A and B are shown apart, each in its own frame.
Chain A
């Protein structure tokens, strides 16, 4: 059967089980859009208002389902607008496939209208990318792209399709399987290494499980829980891992790293066995590398051999898929005759002491809404059942700290790249994947303004996304650094001139709410969550609250800042602070 490239595109996506494409058309892909109505009963297209949002939405879809997310954009600026989205997915190993149009093959290199070398531009931030040479190749390449994106260590793949490839015709051959001799991810852990790991567990007195986003991608939730419960070891998670282990489990000791809990960071420092699973020893986690788990034997389970011993040298590397390797370990552990509870009792007592003495906390107030209180209230109302997306900044860290992340794939946040503007479009993707779920974007006032054009998308598709703006009138996280490390010179971080977010929402036909008093917070949020449509809630919070604890960048855990620094310039800064105002 002969088909046009434009039809092959949809045919293959449908055959591959793709349910939704996030995109925005243009000249180079207009034929694909022209074909779309024929396929629209089998695959949904969500029209975004900016291509960056298409990729974040696809990313949110992927993170909340574990399946690849797909975006479709035009050539030139359509492609370049996706770069931040692609880099975001790359840093967090998210399986996103981005299709770009390209100028006709014959014009490539001519600086033709809307030509950009998107394959060249995205080479360092994709797992792989393609320039399609002929229409006949298209089905194979699309299948490969989806396969590569979602297997091994997942990551974004870009497929650049010149116009002639899209409009051209060829025999439609749908390959049954993918064969790439240069791509064979290692799934099963080496049995000898598995044995060694179990021996180390038997020997250890102070073990700590440190798990990350790899658990989500592998779907190793039950296995992780089983391991922790079997060997009775405490668990700490990275930002990317939150939810991979139940946040209300007695063995969970909180997130680790720069804004991790005291207990988690101390446990890392004092453990004698660190079991890293699907985590990559990021600098925001380790702080000063020399002081990270200095006395521990380190086991590292990761699908990506290049992640092993990249930042921190490990003793027992195991290359493989987390779920498979954990099952191997669990099997091996069955042979061990150990009273784990007894062996680790003192260690867990010590950790519990840290958790009791230095819990995550803040100064409560009935005068002004504390940002942490907003997150706590959201938890109260949802009991961890909502999908929580975040932007980037202080609010993101509070969302990580003060919400109990109980369920896997329910916390969606840009960790590696730290992309402001990620959360709202990601929430769109999550909502499309889970139409009946409560999807919340915990947003900063700065970040939300980076992709607020997507209010139109939310309006068009009646997506009931709840945007809760933790509005401090600041690029708050930067302000915090300025306060702590730059003598309170609040250089260019005051964003108190901002739109009236309530009216803004209303301008898009969406409900807007404002909350200013602590006493009104719960009722307002409850109303927002129960409302059937999208809501933007502008929550005015204490402007100068800080995220604590904090391990300064590059410092060791022992230099953790635990309490609000009281500097004598406090009063001055407050006086200079502008109230949040709308431009007149």
Chain B
């Protein structure tokens, strides 16, 4: 029954939130994370079909103990309506991230970049004599694999949206 705050491996959790669509809500969440020393690996925010509510997908990392605190602390925020730790929920969920990569596309690299884009079902959304901008979507594994291969060609910029995630099947996160 001793303290086990630091027991267990660090884990990565994807957390979905429904929040009031109001200025300052994201700042509150960011303040919470920095004040308590929690990590945010990625965060993405967007309006839901109800314009008064936004949905946030947040990826964080910590010992199980800390993750539990993060969820509890998020629930305490008055503007946070609903919190679901997807990773801990035991449910299946789909995770996607969109990334834009600007790669060098001169000489041999041009063909190589096109090939990698094709393999990973990326779209080339901008073309110049020197560069391509390629758009990928997928889970983390796929995106990281594409990026590591593209390194050979010379990556100039990477822009990631952060993860979005949703439960599989008919269940959904809604205000009860």
Contacts and interface: CB of A to CB of B under 8 A. Distances in A.
Interface string B29-58: 001100100000000000000000000000
Given A290-B3, A294-B1, A306 B69 contact: yes
B78 A127 contact: yes
Contacts of A295: 1
B1, B31, B68, B75 — which one has the most chain A CB atoms within 10 A of its CB? B1
Contact of B27 (A120, A180, A181, A183): A120
A290 B1 contact: no
B78 A290 contact: no
A413 B20 CA distance: 36
A123 B68 contact: no
Nearest to B28: A123
Contacts of B20: 182
Contacts of B159: none
Contacts of B65: 309
- A contact residues, range: 20 to 34
A122 to B, nearest CB: 10
A310 B78 contact: no
A126 to B, nearest CB: 10
A6 B138 CA distance: 54
A201 B81 CA distance: 36
A295 B2 CA distance: 9
Contact of A182 (B31, B68, B77): B77
A119 B24 contact: yes
Interface string B78-103: 11110000000000000000000000
B11 interface: no
A310 B72 CA distance: 10
Contacts of A132: none
Contacts of B4: 313
Nearest to B78: A128
Nearest to A315: B1
Given A119-B24, A124-B31, A310-B69, A297 B1 contact: yes
B171 interface: no
B73 interface: yes
Given A305-B72, A306-B73, A290 B2 contact: yes
B78 A296 contact: no
A285 to B, nearest CB: 14
A182 B1 contact: no
Contacts of A304: 76
A309 B4 CA distance: 10
Interface string A256-289: 0000000000000000000000000000000001
A123 B80 contact: no
A298 interface: yes
Given A119-B24, A181-B175, A305-B72, A313 B1 contact: yes
Contacts of A313: 1-5
A29 B28 CA distance: 26
Contacts of A182: 19-20, 77-81
A444 B175 CA distance: 52
Contact of A294 (B2, B19, B68): B2
Nearest to A185: B76
Contacts of B77: 182
Interface of B: 1-5, 19-20, 24, 27-28, 31-32, 35, 65, 68-69, 72-73, 75-81, 175
Given A119-B24, A289-B2, A306-B76, 19 more contacts: A123-B31, A124-B35, A180-B78, A181-B81, A181-B175, A182-B20, A182-B78, A183-B78, A289-B3, A290-B2, A294-B1, A297-B1, A298-B1, A305-B72, A305-B75, A306-B73, A309-B68, A312-B3, A313-B3
13 contacts: A120-B27, A124-B31, A131-B24, A181-B81, A182-B20, A182-B77, A182-B81, A294-B2, A306-B75, A309-B65, A310-B69, A311-B3, A313-B3
